[in-house]
A and B are shown apart, each in its own frame.
Chain A
């Protein structure tokens, strides 16, 4: 009995230590858990970033050796938009109802048929080229020379934008460095070559005299701009570096 009473404090001491030890155990565990979670999250992020890098359009492949020229052209185009194109397009929008503007937009798209058709053939996409031809015929006959698009709206045919820049890309030519063209906007060396080549297939380009041609090109540009007022402004407002934002957007879309 005496022995037991002597042992009790020893027991309770041991028990106390054990309880304390148990109480302390979860604390470092929790801290470790937090650290581990943080680390796992970090790894997860790195995986995601790597995934983006393997997709094209990340900046490693964007070469911009003409930065100073490009930036000057970007400022020029920006000024031209806010003081020229935008006010004109807004007035134009106010005068012409949307239905007419849409018709004009469709008509100019229709006119670019040779560019799409020839480039689809050059890329070996004969199925799409045939479909493009069908669309052209249907819209010419049933769509009042392309002002309406019954082929797309009623027959479910899908037209696909193509240009020589994309064809050259398909043939293995690299994009070349970034190039901002005055008035025409973001481009690349490959694209600029493509655009020059496509001119031969652009009916508007053969209009004469020259001022009629310019008027037609201007109408196309203003009509198109009218549908996108606010887009460029939003991009600029959300961007910390609008130049880099535009460059990235151009490169990703030009895959």
Chain B
């Protein structure tokens, strides 16, 4: 009788411990899975971009820009990127203005980077991937930083991709880039600083200024 009692309580204790300790184990396992997944997806994205840039080296800047822009848009959550770049100003944009802004703003960034890498020997470019860091989830959205070193002409530039997991209705990869941190400088925070000067300007003026830069 006593033995059965011990046995039962042991089972109960085991059950209690596994349920208590369970989430901890799952979390640790989750984190490894998340870092592996996010690293793999970022690697695929970066490899694709470098391959596209190498392949498009001989075609026109316009065509190169289109190809790189399209590939990047599949991986970027550009809505979040835009919103973080504009900060509070984003609230003043209407739905149409938001999409217009996203379209022109993404073009501006793509054009700048294409003009930077056009004519460069892509074979000399390599990317080193460091261990991703899982960030604190916000409102149940998984997030992670993927630090990399972009090595070109023997110079190493730290570039970190800040990502979050969002299911994509168009079946694109779920991990989305929503900020890029180059040498410690966050792109969205840097733009937010610039848009501070537009505090009293209308959304139309911001869009017009970007379009003017694009037309140049």
Give me the interface of A with B, judged by CB distance under 8 Å. 40, 43-45, 47-49, 51-52, 57-59, 62, 98, 102, 227, 230, 233-234, 237-241, 244-245, 247-249, 252-253, 255
Contacts and interface: CB of A to CB of B under 8 A. Distances in A.
Contact of B138 (A44, A59, A237, A248): A44
A237 B115 contact: yes
Contacts of A52: 84, 186, 188-189, 192
A98 B194 CA distance: 36
A234 B153 contact: no
Interface stretch (B14-22, B55-63, B106-114): B106-114
22 contacts: A44-B141, A45-B83, A48-B80, A48-B138, A49-B87, A51-B138, A52-B186, A52-B192, A57-B189, A227-B155, A234-B115, A234-B116, A237-B115, A240-B191, A244-B193, A244-B196, A248-B190, A249-B185, A252-B184, A252-B185, A252-B186, A255-B184
Contact of B194 (A47, A230, A244): A244
Interface of B is mostly: helix
A62 B188 CA distance: 17
Contacts of A237: 111-112, 115, 213
B19 to A, nearest CB: 30
Contacts of A45: 80, 83-84, 90
Contacts of B84: 45, 48-49, 52
A213 to B, nearest CB: 27
Contacts of A43: 139
Interface of B: 80, 83-84, 87, 90, 108-109, 111-113, 115-116, 138-139, 141, 153-155, 183-186, 188-198, 206, 209-210, 213
Nearest to B212: A240
Nearest to A227: B155
A237 B209 CA distance: 13
B167 to A, nearest CB: 13
Given A240-B210, A249-B185, 6 more contacts: A52-B84, A52-B188, A227-B155, A234-B113, A241-B194, A252-B185
Given A234-B113, A252-B185, A245 B153 contact: no
Contact of B193 (A59, A102, A238): A59
A230 to B, nearest CB: 6
Nearest to A249: B185
Given A45-B80, A45-B84, A57-B189, A240 B138 contact: no
A248 B206 CA distance: 20
B153 A227 contact: yes
Given A45-B84, A47-B138, A248-B189, A253 B194 contact: no
A48 B183 CA distance: 20
Contacts of B190: 245, 248-249, 252
What 4 A-B pairs are tightest by C-beta distance, nearest first?
Answer: A238-B112, A248-B193, A241-B194, A234-B116
Contacts of A244: 193-194, 196-197
B13 to A, nearest CB: 40
A150 to B, nearest CB: 15
B157 to A, nearest CB: 9
A253 B193 contact: no
Contacts of B116: 230, 233-234
Contacts of B191: 240
A47 B83 CA distance: 12
B132 to A, nearest CB: 18
Nearest to A254: B184
Contacts of A40: 139
B213 to A, nearest CB: 7
A175 B190 CA distance: 19
A58 B210 contact: no
B43 to A, nearest CB: 24
Contacts of A62: 193
B112 A59 contact: no
Contacts of A57: 186, 189
B154 A102 contact: yes
A159 to B, nearest CB: 13
B83 to A, nearest CB: 5
A241 B108 contact: no
Contacts of B115: 234, 237
A253 to B, nearest CB: 5
A47 B154 contact: no
